[in-house]
Structure 1
């Protein structure tokens, strides 16, 4: 639990620096979408740099952000200040029924249960590789599982920090009557 608290503190420090870079105070005319994108980009980069490039997913997130010309300035500044970016999970895994339907088991020719299980594991592994940034580079399932667990822990820390900030902001608004 101690390490998780340290991870959250490190993420918060890097995220604040990233927000300062992404949305300078001189640009008051930012729209809602620009502001949302700046917050997401800075949070993702902060989490990636918190992991210090020790994981495939963090390197993949930074590489993806560096491909976007708009994000290059931020990444150059962020790398000097050790920022990070994590990728948002955008897809859900397929359900078992869909996988079983694709197996096309006929009544005259039964497929052995272990073949169905292997096929399901293979399909779910492919889906997981697409969900986790840098998952495509994982050569074996054990490495993929380690990367996935580290990514989940990092996302959880990010959520906890954002939730605390949202609660503090709501409390501040109630107290100050804004």
Structure 2
């Protein structure tokens, strides 16, 4: 990943641009519309900062472009098509079937408690994987291996976004307290 400071600077520039573009289209916005504009422009700025290199950024842009009122912003952001499902090849499937059949044979020799613990652990991992896929934009279309990579990248981008927003809040508080 690039230098975090350059990512923050690029995010801030794109976020301000998106906010200006959105506010120029809608002059009198309610509080709810302003909140939506801030979130949408932050999401699009964060996604466009990644330069279409991740599936989550493509999914964010695709989700935003579904709404016709967002066309003003998404038209200037590198677009993307909806994420495609990843299909497993038949060789991987047969390989995993062989492993499962071997495990079944070995399960006879394991103590009952160990089999139950293994089953519970597997179900827990599946449940958490489904939850992670639902949290990550475009995650429902990802295989487990790319899900981890994409999640790490998404968390890093969110962290940069939060840091930029904190700096803006701090700067605005200082301007209010010291209006000189």
Instruction: Report if the CA contact (8 A) 1:18-1:78 is conserved.
Output: no
Q: Matched residues in 1 for 2:61 and 2:2: separation?
A: 27
Shift of 1:13: 0.9
Q: Specify whether residues 121 and 23 from structure 1 end up closer, same or farther in structure 2 by C-alpha distance, changes over 3 A only.
A: same
**Pair 1:143 & 2:142 matched:** no
| Aligned equivalent of 1:40 | 39
Q: Matched residues in 2 for 1:143 and 1:122: separation?
A: 15
| Aligned equivalent of 1:22 | 22
Q: Matched residues in 1 for 2:146 and 2:2: separation?
A: 25
RMSD across aligned positions (CA): 2.3
Gaps in structure 2 of 5+ consecutive residues: 80-112
Q: Normalization by structure 2: what TM-score?
A: 0.76
Q: Which runs of 4+ in 1 moved over 2 A?
A: 77-80
Bigger Rg, which one: 2
| Aligned equivalent of 1:125 | 129
Instruction: Report if the CA contact (8 A) 1:45-1:62 is conserved.
Output: yes
| Aligned equivalent of 1:65 | 64
1:147-176 Cα shifts (integer Å, max 9, x gaps) = 000000000000000000000001001111
Shift of 1:48: 0.3
Q: Matched residues in 2 for 1:176 and 1:127: separation?
A: 46
Q: Specify whether residues 34 and 26 from structure 1 end up closer, same or farther in structure 2 by C-alpha distance, changes over 3 A only.
A: closer
**Pair 1:176 & 2:179 matched:** yes
| Aligned equivalent of 2:48 | 49
**3-state SS of the aligned residue for 2:34?**
helix
Q: Specify whether residues 2 and 132 from structure 1 end up closer, same or farther in structure 2 by C-alpha distance, changes over 3 A only.
A: closer
Q: Specify whether residues 26 and 145 from structure 1 end up closer, same or farther in structure 2 by C-alpha distance, changes over 3 A only.
A: closer
State how many pairs are aligned. Answer: 148
Instruction: Report if the CA contact (8 A) 2:50-2:57 is conserved.
Output: yes
Q: Matched residues in 2 for 1:51 and 1:154: separation?
A: 9
Q: Normalization by structure 1: what TM-score?
A: 0.77
| Aligned equivalent of 1:113 | 117
| Aligned equivalent of 1:159 | 162
Instruction: Report if the CA contact (8 A) 1:21-1:77 is conserved.
Output: no
| Aligned equivalent of 1:98 | none
